[in-house]
Amino acid sequence: MNGRRAPDWLTQWEYAHRGLHRKGVPENSLAAAEGAIAAGMGIECDIQRSRDDHPMVFHDWELDRLTGVAGETEQRTAAELEQLCLLGTDQHPFKLSTLLEVVAGRVPLLIEIKSRPGYDVAMTCVTVSRMLADYDGPHAVMSFDPRVARWFRRHSPQTCAGLVMREDDRGNTQKAWQRRLALWIARPDFLAYHIAALPNRLVAALRARGLPVLTWTVNSPETRLRAMDHADALIAEGAGLA
């Protein structure tokens, strides 16, 4: 914990995971964002960086799953990415600046910055912070990479910054020492913890000390009930929505 108090709004909302996506409304699309706003939900979204250093609302490192086009997301310019269609729809990848204009403070945003080994995540932090500098709506950033929360604490201390964690074989914090190290590096304002790893003693202890705990991805009635007992706010989709 870093001694900072997270903003009250953080735990007063439920967040639509990658926007309110469903059949015909793809994840991380403007239609999904508008759907979340209409439903009175906050929006969780993902950020990749384009080749010309624009933060783009897009989840994957590769384009094929979401667009049917081969290649890496970071090898396309923002203009090139905006020309692609999300599969089976007229929706397109878009810049974070566009999302900020559309949301305009109506609901809070959780902005997950993607990272991986060898990636210059600091540059993505720089580009995101520039977009957020004049944005007045409630927002927070988060990442699996603990360096993101550390970067924002040092360079944009007004920005609420969280640490995303999971403990399964897809994560990088499976072992207790890895979780302690990530927390030490990040000193986050909040946690966004994988629902499959709840409940556990570490998270319960941090929550008892005042660290807000969000949980993802709540996607069933069972996980929703568990999340209500062991977290302060839900990041949900599909059958996990209220």
CATH number at residue 63: 3.20.20.190
For 229, the token pair is 């007992």
Cα 154 from Cα 159, distance rounded (Å): 10
Q: Does residue 32 lie within any of the structural domains? A: yes
Whole-number pLDDT of residue 171 = 82
Q: Does residue 1 lie within any of the structural domains? A: no
Residues 6+ apart with CB under 8 A from 12: 233
Cα 229 from Cα 223, distance rounded (Å): 10
Q: Where are the alpha helices (DSSP H) in the chain?
A: 30-38, 64-67, 78-82, 96-103, 121-132, 146-155, 176-186, 201-208, 221-230
Q: Does residue 137 lie within any of the structural domains? A: yes
187-196 b/e (C-beta count within 10 Å ≥ 16 → b): bbbbbbbbbe
Q: Does residue 42 lie within any of the structural domains? A: yes
Q: Does residue 211 lie within any of the structural domains? A: yes
Bridge pairing between strands 139-143 and 42-49: unpaired
Please state the pTM of the whole predicted model.
0.97
Cα 200 from Cα 119, distance rounded (Å): 31
Neighbours of 79 (CB within 10 A): 11
* Tally of domains within the chain: 1
- What is the residue range of 220's domain? 8-240
In tens, the pLDDT along 20-51 reads: 999 999 999 999 999 999 999 999 999 999 99
For 2, the token pair is 């870093």
Question: Containing H/E element for 163?
Answer: strand 160-165
For 36, the token pair is 């979340």
Whole-number pLDDT of residue 76 = 98
Flag residues of the chain having pLDDT under 70.
1
Q: Does residue 215 lie within any of the structural domains? A: yes
Q: Does residue 20 lie within any of the structural domains? A: yes
Cα 32 from Cα 17, distance rounded (Å): 10
